[in-house]
Amino acid sequence: MNKDAKICIIGGGPAGLSAGMYLEQKGYTNYTILERLDRVGGKCWSPTYNGRRYEMGAIMGVPSYYAVHDVEEFCGITHDGPKLNRNYKNAKGDVIEPFEPKKNILKIPRLLKMKKQLKKLGEILETKYKGYDINGHRGVAEGRYDGFAVTPGREPVSGVNPNLKDLALPFSEFCNKNGVELTQDIWIGPYTSFGYGYFDEIPAGYVLKYLDFQTTMNFVKVNLWTWKNGTQFIWESLNGKLKNPARLNSTIEKVERRDGKVYVTVNGAVEEYDKIIVTSPLFVPDKENRRDGLVGMVDYFDAREDEKKLFSKIDYERYDVLAVETKPEDHPEISYYVFDNMVKERLGHLMVYYRRWRDEVNQVITTYALRKHKDMKEVPYDTCRQMVLDDLKTMRNPASNVVNEWSVYYFPHVFSADYAAGWYDKVEAMQGKYDTYYAGEVMSFGDMDETAEYSRELVERFF
């Protein structure tokens, strides 16, 4: 592609800003990033309270976040935040230690069996499911892998492996099929509590591409990265280093693609581009019910029938975050996971609450709850909000005030039938077809590293 091509990038989150960085590193400097909000970072949002930043979105990273490390090196920053740790409570608010045999004598047989199954899962992922951890989902439904390895060098790899078709199964079925059902007890903490849905509804491909074996072990060992000024600081730093920083408060009214050009109407003015990269939502199923007015690409683009048909398959999680104050005597001494509430029968209840700064009680804690399962009635936002506040009382850490709240478009995905039917291969076959490229969360996974890594792959493949 001509290095002078004029490229429009929609979205100033990790995917869009990373696309700008990788394009710039390949010699493309005629790019524009349009962001509808008054800030960059997308779901990495780190507001300030009492002089310190807290997290409303992404919280942490791990050493295998290679794309995030690319950004750190590009910007000259590092992961310099507070050391994290956590404990566990049951639904009654009692502290438990579910993985400590000495504290769970009756569970020793189950814990020993889990340990054996964990070893087995690690082995079959490297052998039976070779290629499972490649970024993105291209080829999986066809029993092949094609992309970049999850290694520091991220070398290109490809191959045929019919077993990869199993990744279309819901993760619970995948685990049962392979005799490793107890490993779900390990994966659920960094998966369901982080808002990515339940194991009986979400394809294993999503679970295992985000929580590949090395990433999960980093979570287990609490080998985690944080940033003093929050995850948003990563993307603020990148935006400040780019030759063409994101243009904030950019409202896109219309996109038309004709005669080899892309015409974007933004804030009332028409701008002409050669190519466009979409990292913002492609489809919002219930836009009429959203408080933020968010719409999908198909609503303001001259969307073609193939785009409408494929993107209408996308759903997303209803995942809510509250930042609350407590009285000093009620402040939790550490972050807590509530495993009892990470099942669909407890939809809408508090799953985890997070204390970022361990040296100060005059700070907020953040709470997280899911209120949607594909086979159940969605819990209304206000109902869920009250359930979480009631749960904090049960946990003996009652809130004295709600400082901030957020219900964001979270983890766009497709379900097993569409995954198995080759949804990703159909979308990948459309890359560039209308001078349009599709990136962002749905093309890989909803965490900041996977989205940034997919942008890297997109630039390598097409630019």
Same domain as 212, residue 116? yes
**In the listed set 155, 188, 220, which residue is the last one of a domain according to the structure?**
220
Can you give the pLDDT at residue 157? Answer: 94
CA distances, 284 to each of 107, 257, 298, 299 (Å): 44, 21, 9, 9
Contact indicator for 232, 46 with CB cutoff of 8 Å = yes
Spatial distance between the Cα atoms of 176 and 184, rounded to a whole number of angstroms: 10
Same domain as 153, residue 273? no
- In 10 A of CB 11, how many CB atoms? 26
Q: Which two tokens stand for residue 156?
A: 């290109």
Instruction: Judge whether 405 lies within some domain.
Output: no
CATH of residue 214: 1.10.405.20
Instruction: Judge whether 395 lies within some domain.
Output: no
Instruction: Judge whether 382 lies within some domain.
Output: no
Strand 7-10 to 31-34 pairing: parallel
Spatial distance between the Cα atoms of 210 and 190, rounded to a whole number of angstroms: 10
Number of domains composing the chain? 2
Same domain as 231, residue 213? no
CA distances, 62 to each of 103, 192, 206, 271, 336 (Å): 28, 18, 18, 39, 19
Strand 352-354 to 365-370 pairing: antiparallel
Can you give the pLDDT at residue 101? Answer: 77
Instruction: Judge whether 127 lies within some domain.
Output: yes
Q: What is the pTM of this model?
A: 0.96
**In the listed set 220, 250, 266, which residue is the last one of a domain according to the structure?**
220
Residue 449: domain span: 7-46+67-78+227-314+414-462
Instruction: Judge whether 135 lies within some domain.
Output: yes
Can you give the pLDDT at residue 93? Answer: 97
Amino acid at 296: G
Instruction: Judge whether 407 lies within some domain.
Output: no
**In the listed set 220, 253, 271, which residue is the last one of a domain according to the structure?**
220
SS (H, E, C) the chain: CCCCCCEEEECCCHHHHHHHHHHHHCCCCCEEEECCCCCCCCCCCCCEECCEECCCCCCCECCCCHHHHHHHHHHCCCCCCCCCCEEEECCCCCEECCCCHHHCHHHHHHHHHHHHHHHHHHHHHHCCCCCCCCCCCCCHHHCEEEEECCCCCCCEEEEECHHHHHHHCEHHHHHHHCCCHHHHHHHHHHHHHHCCCCCCCCEHHHHHHHCCHHHHHHHHCCCCECCCCCHHHHHHHHHHHCCCCCECCCCEEEEEEECCEEEEEECCEEEEECEEEECCCCCCCCHHHCCCCCCCHHHHECCCHHHHHHHCCCEEEEEEEEEEECCHHHCCCCEEECHHHCCHHHCCCCCEEECCCCCCCCCCEEEEEECCCCCCCCCCHHHHHHHHHHHHHHCCCCCCEEEEEEEEEEEEECCHHHHHCCHHHHHHCCCCCCCEEECCHHHCCCCHHHHHHHHHHHHHHHC
CATH of residue 243: 3.50.50.60
Can you give the pLDDT at residue 150? Answer: 85
Contact indicator for 323, 405 with CB cutoff of 8 Å = yes
Residue 102 phi, psi (nearest 5): -65, -25
Spatial distance between the Cα atoms of 62 and 222, rounded to a whole number of angstroms: 9
- Residue among 116, 1, 109, 110 at smallest CA distance from 432: 1
Can you give the pLDDT at residue 294? Answer: 92
Sheet containing 7-10: give its strands across: 31-34, 7-10, 275-278, 436-438
Same domain as 450, residue 309? yes
- In 10 A of CB 405, how many CB atoms? 16
**Residue 106 burial by CB count (10 A; 0-12/13-18/19+): exposed, middle or buried?**
exposed
Instruction: Judge whether 178 lies within some domain.
Output: yes
Can you give the pLDDT at residue 358? Answer: 86
Can you give the pLDDT at residue 103? Answer: 75
Spatial distance between the Cα atoms of 2 and 91, rounded to a whole number of angstroms: 58
Q: One digit per residue, pLDDT tens: the chain, 463 residues?
A: 899 999 999 999 999 999 999 999 999 999 999 999 999 999 999 999 999 999 999 999 999 999 999 999 999 999 999 999 999 999 999 999 888 877 778 788 999 999 999 999 999 999 999 999 999 999 999 999 999 988 888 999 999 999 999 999 999 999 999 999 999 999 999 999 999 999 999 999 999 999 999 999 999 999 999 999 999 999 999 999 999 999 999 999 999 999 999 999 999 999 999 999 999 999 999 888 888 889 999 999 999 999 999 999 999 999 999 999 999 999 999 999 999 999 999 999 999 999 999 888 999 999 999 999 999 999 999 999 999 999 999 999 999 999 999 999 999 999 999 999 999 999 999 999 999 999 999 999 999 999 999 999 999 999 9
Same domain as 261, residue 200? no
Contact indicator for 296, 287 with CB cutoff of 8 Å = yes
